[in-house]
Chain A
Amino acid sequence: MSIILNGTTGITTPADTVTGNATVGGTLTVTGATTLTGAATLTGGIAGDVSSTGTLAMGSSFKRNRIINGNMVVDQRNAGASVTIGSSAGTYTLDRWCAQSVNASKFSVQQNAGSITPPTGFTKYLGVTSLAATSSGSTDYYGFFQAIEGFNTADLAWGTASAASVTISFWVRSSLTGSFSASLTNSGSNRSYPFSYTVNAANTWEQKTVTVAGDTSGTWLTDNSTGIYLRFDLGTGSSFRGTAGTWAAANYYGVTGAVSVVGTNGATFYVTGVQLEVGTKATPYETQIYSDQLAQCQRYYRGSTPVVVNPVATPSTIFTNSMRTSPTLTGGGTGFTIISQTGDTTTCYQTSSANQNLTFSAEL
Chain B
Amino acid sequence: MYTNAQYIAFNGTNTGIRCDINGVTSFVPIDPANTDYANIMALVAAGELTIAPAE
Contact surface of A with B, Cβ cutoff 8 Å: 86, 88, 224-225, 324-330, 332, 336-341, 361-364
Across-interface contacts of A341 in B (CB, < 8 A): 15-16, 29, 31
> What CA separation (Å) do A338 and B26 show in the bound complex?
11
CB of B5 within 8 A of chain A?
no
Contact assessment for A327 and B34 in the assembled complex, using a CB-CB cutoff below 8 Å: yes
**Known contacts A336-B27, A341-B29, A362-B34: A328-B8 contact under CB 8 Å:** no
Secondary structure dominating the interface of A: loop
Contact surface of B with A, Cβ cutoff 8 Å: 1, 8-10, 15-16, 21-22, 24-29, 31, 33-37
> What CA separation (Å) do A339 and B4 show in the bound complex?
20
Across-interface contacts of A332 in B (CB, < 8 A): 25, 27
Contact assessment for B33 and A338 in the assembled complex, using a CB-CB cutoff below 8 Å: no
Across-interface contacts of A339 in B (CB, < 8 A): 10, 15
Across-interface contacts of B37 in A (CB, < 8 A): 328
Contact assessment for A328 and B22 in the assembled complex, using a CB-CB cutoff below 8 Å: no
Contact assessment for A88 and B27 in the assembled complex, using a CB-CB cutoff below 8 Å: no
**Known contacts A337-B8, A338-B8: A326-B33 contact under CB 8 Å:** yes
Contact assessment for B29 and A327 in the assembled complex, using a CB-CB cutoff below 8 Å: yes
Across-interface contacts of A364 in B (CB, < 8 A): 35
Across-interface contacts of A340 in B (CB, < 8 A): 10, 15
Closest to A315 in B: B10
Contact assessment for B36 and A337 in the assembled complex, using a CB-CB cutoff below 8 Å: no
